[in-house]
Chain A
Amino acid sequence: MRRFELAALCLAVPAAFAAAWGIDPGLQFLLVEALVLFLMAQMWNLAAGYAGQVSFGQQLFVGAGAYALFAIANATAVPVWVVLAVVPVLVGLAAIPLGMVMFHLKHAYFAIGMWVVAEIAQQLVLITPWLGGTGGLTLRPNGEPMQGFPEQLVLGLALFGSVALVVGLRVFLRTPMGLATLAMRDNPAAAEGAGVDIRRLHLILFALTAAGTALAGAMYYTTTLYTSPLDAFQVNWIVATMFIVVIGGIGTLTGPAIGTVLMITLREVMTAYGFSGDQYWIVMGLISIVTLLFLPRGLWPALQAVLSRPRATT
């Protein structure tokens, strides 16, 4: 691990504590949402940007994370924070057989096939009484109401988790498997020729994406204390995720951070000026299309090119 990566990790700890106990609750909710979206975007980016597995079914893992957490925490005496650590493992493991089936679909078929699976999951939860059906579930660990202020701890966790994820991914991309991932991003055929087991790598990245997204979803719904099928499995999760990655910069680690800041800022500003949610999504859609048409790799790679140009000429 490089020195500044270690420094970032160390700095993240006091920052997480400060955020958890030094900020007013309204801002905490906003920050939790932003960090959760950033985590989801980074995970989708890992699959779509690096592994080329564009999926429109990310909301499947959000909902799976939320429902796994609520179901296990409500039915057992295991502390919520322990369940929160177990959920990504469970969802990640469950994703492996799913991946084995879904990988038979290629490209666009895979992308929309995942969306169909997310719809199936939503419909199944809707008609399953012990998961609350249409009414949804309230978080009641071991049958008791949730104590304290979960958003404080979740904010701390999400903040530290986001920094740790970026550092972790940076380190991962330097390992042999990470280098294989980069090779696969740049030229799948050549990577396969060089002995990379693409299918296995895809499966691992798919499971990692599922696990990370499930963790983000579980964290988010821990702060809301309530989840429902129409909320946890909603398409808006993938819409937001995709906009963040596409606008910020697909296949880069910094891009999703830029995309998240832009998206949340724009939403807050537009809401403050009295625009409706529909109008906000229309604007986001337009920005994403314009970005795709003129900077198909996103803002960050374009920015990098501009920033590095003077250096290159001198």
Chain B
Amino acid sequence: MGARLEITDLTAAYGEFRALSGLSLTIAAGETLALVGANGAGKSTLMKVLTGLMGGWQGRVTLGDAPLRPGDPRAASARGIALVPEGRLLFDSLTVEENLLIGASGRRGPWDIPAILSLFPVLTEKRRARPSTLSGGQQQMVAIGRALASNPDVLLCDEISLGLSPRVVDEVYAALARVRAAGVTMVIVDQDIGRVAGRADRVACLFKGHITHLGPAAGTTPASLHDAYFGAAA
């Protein structure tokens, strides 16, 4: 089941460069948040902070009712945060099935291997294949399946449609809709504002490390986000 994610006054930097500055955001349990913003706005940094891939940040991130430990990806995984990383980043020394199995680390829940394969039936016959032999869309399905296998409370999807054909993107979003219906909290990053807004409850726009727009997804269009996206509002 989904969990509430509360981010308060989050600041994260790479050396001199501040990727996130004083960001605050609360995502309700079971909510789907579309996260948009230009390159370098801080979307991927936020993903890294939430998954523990990046430590050394200031502020407070609370999952459910307990704070998250900075820079500890194992703890984040155990607490129920899973990531579909930008560029998929599958394990190519493992078969498709092994990629799914490796995601299933301890947390029990509805997303076992048969459930994931029924979400992505095309993967059933590719179970013994190496991920590198799959199409981009199939690889993205493996990445989502690998993340789901840990039965997460919060599913983070970074650049979910990058490099995929529109038809495949529709398939991916159809699957994500079923995940959403199961009550998992989701954060989806997508360059295509119109597309992701139509599949989310709210839209948040990042610009230079802080939030320039946060509102209901209904009615959000690229044009209505123009100022927030390019920083004119700030």
A and B touch in the complex (CB under 8 A): no
Name A's B-contacting residues (CB within 8 A): none
Name B's A-contacting residues (CB within 8 A): none
